Chains A and B, each alone.
Chain A
Amino acid sequence: GDSVTQMEGPVTLSEEAFLTINCTYTATGYPSLFWYVQYPGEGLQLLLKATKADDKGSNKGFEATYRKETTSFHLEKGSVQVSDSAVYFCALSRGGYQKVTFGTGTKLQVIP
């Protein structure tokens, strides 16, 4: 079945550091790929998405590129801020009912 593997957390970075959170997936066909973010005490919000190979999703300074050859969708940001502290979930979706398979989440803590 489908699966998403993302790097274990927590990840602790200083403000303005470069961020990479790794995500790889297993799925047949051509799934859509997503990054969701969950701020403390809130539900998940869509951060960015990519629907086909080589697409780059971007939002709020975050980027991720759909790499079919390596089945990866790594999240990057050039300069993190304290306000980026949250849990980040990689996810994939395929099929008409949009069932989504989530990774286990990576907690990011950014310290001033």
Chain B
Amino acid sequence: DVKVTQSSRYLVKRTGEKVFLECVQDMDHENMFWYRQDPGLGLRLIYFSYDVKMKEKGDIPEGYSVSREKKERFSLILESASTNQTSMYLCASCRPSYEQYFGPGTRLTVT
């Protein structure tokens, strides 16, 4: 079975902290994605990566950065967390032209 894991299910951080969200997939997928999920807004793409060290901005990249140093790992970084970044964060991976597989999500609260 394809497995996408995320480092934390729940996370509480303070405003201004630097936050790292980690995602690891075990199926050698080329593409990896970070979304945030908010009620009434569905899923919105933050960043995606189609290869090691490659990244592309999604629809809402402001306030976020990403890192992909190894094929299986894709990190989302909040340089200075703010309360409007309180959300559910979902990581996904896939092979090109195939469906995406999602991790269980990290519910981040910024106070």
A residues at B contact (CB < 8 Å) = 34, 36, 41-46, 49, 89, 96-100, 102-105
Contact = CB atoms under 8 A, between A and B. Distances in A.
Nearest to A103: B42
Interface of B, helix, strand, loop or mixed by DSSP: strand
Contacts of B99: 34, 46, 49
Nearest to A36: B102
B31 A43 contact: no
Interface residues of B, number: 25
Interface of B: 4, 31, 33, 40-43, 45, 48, 50, 56, 58, 90, 92, 94, 96-105
Given A44-B90, A105-B42, A98 B103 contact: no
Contacts of B97: 96, 98
